[in-house]
Structure 1
């Protein structure tokens, strides 16, 4: 039997806080409020990590989310050195996720699809990337794509989280390459990123509980909030 929540009374408030701060961040990006983004973005992953810990989630999940927090903070200044350090922390988070997925069997056709998509994307992006970013971004993209594929081993919710993480970082990469941006580009980056981290968390917790990840937020201790 899997362990129950460590702090059942905090589960619902922490999830509500994560959703509320996510909404503030996204609304601030749409409104062009840089201050709202600066305040809200660094709070997202600590809140989600605290939620996972309160649910009794594994330490590797909490570590992955906190690596995401470190990456979020380092990517905010926009300097190349900080960006590379932040990318390194995100890479460490992907390693944590891969260890959580273990040896569970993932779809081979999905893996082939991800491999083809990665190869095409790197070939198209390569000429437009700054010289110092080409190799680090390619190595990071390979790790991220592997994580996205392996996430599907935990079910469709974690698989969707992995795919959204890949999409979010692909949007960032197109910005680095100075490709044309979507309208409200930063909004879409953060929407896909926040959704990705939540769905990965839901998939890991749902797999641990032996329950459907779709109901991962419904806790034994009186229920929770679903998204």
Structure 2
């Protein structure tokens, strides 16, 4: 990768990290205007960075859908926002499954048990939303499983994303606690970055390996 591209990538990643810190701080102090404005910049900045890392079209589509989900949820279009994030996870699953990974049924069993326990604990208090929450949580769990198969970094991102949305489900079930919103957004911002960087890192490594194989052995 050229030096100019590396420099651009670093600038854009720094901008994303700064926006994430500002947003989490705004949530912590409940600065409403800053909270909305900073959240609107998060996924576009991460998308901009991903392009410097040769992100696949599917990964870029996941970040675009996440951008739409953030905006829709902030403007109280709840169902449309959830649908946008469901589309994002479908894109994540597609891009992760298209790449090599080490599949483990232990990971499936662990996350499956976690999903079942979460739904069992919260379903009584979710009322008419229990089916929608269970279905969306299952999609999130699938992303967490497949991301863990892909690499430790993307797996950490999938786990943080699941944790973030689990905290939202806790609030929906009427079990809020101090600091939940701050923790939710910190986990969301970190999870999205780790998912994106985990996928792009593997893609760049494969591209480098392919170039080396095409060049053939180096004769001293």
Number of equivalent positions: 204
Structure 2 Cα separation of the partners of residues 192 and 203 of structure 1: 16
Q: Give the drift of 1:150.
A: 0.5
User: 2:66·2:85 contact (CA, 8 Å) conserved in 1?
Assistant: yes
TM-score normalised by L of structure 1:
0.85
Structure 2 Cα separation of the partners of residues 198 and 6 of structure 1: 22
Q: Give the drift of 1:7.
A: 4.5
Task: Show the counterpart of 1:24.
Answer: 22
TM-score normalised by L of structure 2:
0.87
Task: Show the counterpart of 1:36.
Answer: 34
User: 1:5·1:56 contact (CA, 8 Å) conserved in 2?
Assistant: no
Task: Show the counterpart of 1:214.
Answer: none
Q: Give the drift of 1:130.
A: 3.3
Runs of 4 or more consecutive aligned structure 1 residues displaced over 4 Å after TM superposition: 3-9
Are 2:99 and 1:140 aligned? no
Task: Show the counterpart of 1:223.
Answer: none
Task: Show the counterpart of 1:49.
Answer: 47
Task: Show the counterpart of 1:158.
Answer: 154
With over 3 angstroms needed to count, the CA separation of the structure-2 counterparts of 1:24 and 1:105, relative to structure 1, is same
Larger of the two Rg values belongs to structure: 2
Structure 1, unaligned stretches of length 5 or more?
212-227
Q: Give the drift of 1:120.
A: 1.2
Are 2:188 and 1:193 aligned? yes
Task: Show the counterpart of 1:14.
Answer: 12
Structure 2, unaligned stretches of length 5 or more?
207-220
Q: Give the drift of 1:106.
A: 2.5
User: 2:148·2:154 contact (CA, 8 Å) conserved in 1?
Assistant: yes
With over 3 angstroms needed to count, the CA separation of the structure-2 counterparts of 1:5 and 1:148, relative to structure 1, is farther
Are 2:164 and 1:168 aligned? yes
Structure 2 Cα separation of the partners of residues 130 and 150 of structure 1: 30
Question: More helix by proportion, 1 or 2?
Answer: 2
Structure 2 Cα separation of the partners of residues 57 and 102 of structure 1: 15
Structure 1 Cα separation of the partners of residues 55 and 205 of structure 2: 13
User: 2:65·2:88 contact (CA, 8 Å) conserved in 1?
Assistant: yes
Which of 68, 71, 79 pairs up with 2:69?
71
User: 2:145·2:155 contact (CA, 8 Å) conserved in 1?
Assistant: yes
